[in-house]
Chain A
Amino acid sequence: MILTQTTAIFLDAYRELNAKKLFWLTLGLNLLVVVLYASLGINEQGVTLLHWKFQNEFFTTDLVSKELFYKLQFTSWGIPIWLSWATAILALVSTASIIPDLVSGGTIEPVLSKPIGRVRLFLTKYLTGLLFVGLQVTIFSIGCMLVMGIRGGAWEPKLLLAIPIVLAFFSYLFAFCAFVGLMTRSTIAALLLTMLFWFAIWIVNVGDAMMIAQREGSILQVEDAQADIEKQTTFANKRIEQLREQGKPIPGEDGDELTNGYTDSLEAVNPALKLSRSRLQTAQEGAETWTNWANRVILVKTILPKTQETVALLERYLITQEEIAVLMGMNEEQAARMNRNEDEPAFADPRAPARVEEVMRKRSTTWILGTSFAFEAFLLLVSCVVFVRRDF
């Protein structure tokens, strides 16, 4: 009975999407992107698209293996553009009407009068939306896996992780969409408010990345200043030693007055130390401020679903940190060796992005998925309660 009903609901959802021409359209778009991906190539001179050739210094088979090229293509637009934006938007447009259509007057009565509980009815309808996205992503990732295998010679079954990951990411948005759809009974409202919500999450994410960049930048400044103080202290100690050997008076000792506002004899013999110390203090204050801000943003983020981070998990699994370092063509030591202007803001430190990346990667999968699913579960729970109690 449950199986019969569930199949019927899924079949009905397919027919509805099909009637709106959305089902095959989105499927076709996904396949088109896979074909586009397959028609990209790389050789000794550069990148090719079908029979067109593009000279490129970096992307040649001498520097980038075919395998890495396809992997890079996937991570540079497959994940961040197609899977994180296009798929979700297409899916939202296609599925936003599921719940409003379910609860609209005249449609709901015959369904509610069937031997199916309201919670199960609501959740099954919710699942049809996810199933649709699942289908899209499955086709896309299997297609990409085949392209990567056949054209790039790299069989990467980890690519199939895209299915659960994108599904999880979409399910957060769809839970919100379903909730709004249930409350307003309007597809347009559900779609627009979900987009708005998604945009808000994106803003918070941008804020988060900025705060972290600032914080990491200031921490780097603190570290630099500390190293500098150590250097200057050693130098000052040597200087005091020298003075002592020469029998000269040491400032601040044996009744010799400290002048110029020096706090100890080290500073008096090495004025650069005073400067370093004040720099450390400024840096520490900065670090404290940015840490506070970053913590506040994290608090907000903990409640919200983590859309970007969830999709980024895929990148995390596909490309290792070492690979990134190689790709960046610049590792931390190199960056440290570079001359920096001290007036530059902290996040402008060339080492900061790597640190930010590291911080982001250190956020645990459990935290990312756990808090997001908690948000989703809460929304679904509220929706179910509203749906069960409503008089239609």
Chain B
Amino acid sequence: MSAVIDIQGVEKTYKRRIKALRGVDLSVGQGEIFGLLGPNGAGKSTLVKIMMTVISPSKCTGTVLGEKIGDKNTLQQIGYLPEHHRFPAYLTGRQVLEYFGAMSGIQRKQRKAKASELLELVGMESWHKDKLGSYSKGMRQRVGLAQALMNDPKLVVLDEPTDGVDPSGRRDIRNILSHLKDEGRTIFLNSHLLSELEMVCDRVAIMVHGLVRTQGTIDELTADQSGFVITTKEPIPEHASSELNSLSLPEQAEQTSADTIAFKTDDATKVQPAIDTLRKHNIVIQSAGFKRPSLEDLFMQVVSTDHGDKPGAISGARSSKKGAKS
């Protein structure tokens, strides 16, 4: 799998003060849906804008579609949906597509055909004659997405594509993304909405404060934290707990809190002795099962451990706090 995006050490300092990116390394393979997530202000949009030549990096090596970043001709093969876009309000949906298609150098005839095709794809065919000024946020987002596809891009870059879109619209957009992936396009998307990414992304990277903390498939990222977890109704008493420890249970059973024991194994038979022990002490088991952290858990871990320490590290500690830092 050749890398569509392969960048190292991207740095960006705005106006000599704000360090938005502090050395980002990223690699996106051909044909995958890659999700970049991070709290507001992490620098996601900044990274995308650098790839799209909207802003210039302070420091950057690497390639997009095999060409150096900043190369204008490569843009012909990239589709881009900016965050907070404002397409001309005096244009109709169809005119927006044709205008940006023309800016990508598409010939008139192809433009017309492609615009019709895409309006149907994003479900805007019945609104194509209305001016953008009369569209809702979700409709504009759909047209924006269609606009990004006018040039038949090999790489589609979407900055917060589901921003302001209602749940059914989000599902539509997810379906479109899967459709694009089936067509063999690579998709790079930015979001702070984790469940969105979890559903569609092949690989994700988590960015905090201008650094990519971790990247990989969701399975890879969550592998060392998934396993069997037993929770009890009451806190486990001291004597039961010490007996459990003496059992020499497999895969480093770990009591993560007074009423929870986690096992780093996916083999159910190996945890039965623990259940036996707990039951022997008449402890009520609330739940027992295989648990894998969600993207949100992972995300919260990364965000909460961001104290400017070395990038790429995930510590095992869990935080129960919710809400993104910005």
Contact = CB atoms under 8 A, between A and B. Distances in A.
A joins B in a complex: yes
Interface of A: 1, 4-5, 7-9, 11-12, 15-16, 18-19, 104-117, 389, 391-392
B107 interface: yes
A77 to B, nearest CB: 35
B150 to A, nearest CB: 10
B16 to A, nearest CB: 12
A108 B49 CA distance: 11
Contacts of A1: 105
Which residue, A4, A5, A18, has most C-beta atoms of chain B within 10 A? A4
Given A16-B88, A110-B82, A110-B87, A391 B56 contact: yes
B53 interface: yes
Contacts of A105: 84, 86
Contacts of A391: 14, 49, 54-56
Given A110-B85, A113-B52, A113-B54, 7 more contacts: A8-B99, A12-B99, A15-B88, A109-B82, A111-B103, A392-B49, A392-B54
Given A16-B88, A106-B86, A108-B54, A115 B73 contact: yes
Interface in B92-124: 95, 98-100, 102-108
Given A8-B99, A115-B75, A116-B72, A109 B105 contact: no
Contacts of A112: 52-54
B97 to A, nearest CB: 11
Dominant secondary structure at the A interface:
helix
Nearest to A117: B72
B90 A109 contact: no
Contacts of B56: 389, 391
A113 B91 contact: no
B299 interface: no
A113 B86 contact: no
Contacts of A115: 72-76, 104-105
B85 A113 contact: no
Contact of A8 (B14, B72, B76, B102): B102
Contact of A109 (B14, B80, B88): B80
A136 B108 CA distance: 28
Contacts of A12: 88, 91, 99
B107 A4 contact: yes
Nearest to A19: B90
B95 A15 contact: yes
B53 A113 contact: yes
B55 A106 contact: no
A117 B72 CA distance: 7
Contacts of A389: 56
Nearest to A8: B102
A115 B54 CA distance: 12
Given A8-B103, A15-B95, A391-B56, A110 B147 contact: yes
A113 B105 CA distance: 12
B236 interface: no
Contacts, number: 85
A18 B131 CA distance: 13
B187 to A, nearest CB: 16
B85 A106 contact: yes
Contacts of B106: 4
Which residue, B78, B86, B98, B108, has most C-beta atoms of chain A within 10 A? B86
Given A4-B105, A392-B54, A106 B90 contact: no
14 contacts: A4-B106, A4-B108, A5-B102, A7-B102, A8-B103, A15-B88, A16-B90, A106-B82, A109-B85, A110-B82, A113-B54, A113-B78, A392-B49, A392-B54
Nearest to A16: B90
A99 to B, nearest CB: 15
Nearest to B159: A109
Given A19-B90, A116-B72, A110 B102 contact: no
Contacts of B84: 105-106
B90 to A, nearest CB: 3
Contacts of A117: 72
Nearest to B76: A115
Contacts of B87: 107, 110
Given A16-B90, A113-B78, A5 B147 contact: no
Contacts of B55: 391-392
The 7 closest A-B pairs by CB, nearest first: A106-B86, A8-B102, A19-B90, A109-B82, A391-B55, A1-B105, A114-B103
Nearest to A108: B54
A347 B151 CA distance: 68
Nearest to A9: B103
A108 B54 CA distance: 8
A153 B172 CA distance: 70
Given A115-B73, A115-B76, A391-B56, A109 B49 contact: yes
A109 B91 contact: no
A109 B52 contact: yes
Nearest to A390: B55
B309 to A, nearest CB: 29
Contact of B82 (A4, A11, A15, A113): A113
Contact of B102 (A4, A104, A106, A109): A4
A104 B82 CA distance: 13
A108 B103 CA distance: 13
Contacts of B86: 104-107
Contacts of A114: 75, 100, 103-104
Contacts of B80: 109-110, 113
A391 B86 CA distance: 17
Nearest to B91: A15
A383 to B, nearest CB: 18
A11 B99 CA distance: 9
Contacts of B85: 106-107, 109-110
Which residue, B53, B76, B98, B108, has most C-beta atoms of chain A within 10 A? B53
Interface in B18-55: 49, 52-55
A105 B54 CA distance: 11
B50 to A, nearest CB: 9
B148 to A, nearest CB: 8
A110 B48 CA distance: 12
A171 B117 CA distance: 42
A46 B56 CA distance: 69
Contacts of A4: 102, 105-108
Contacts of B49: 109, 391-392
Nearest to A18: B90
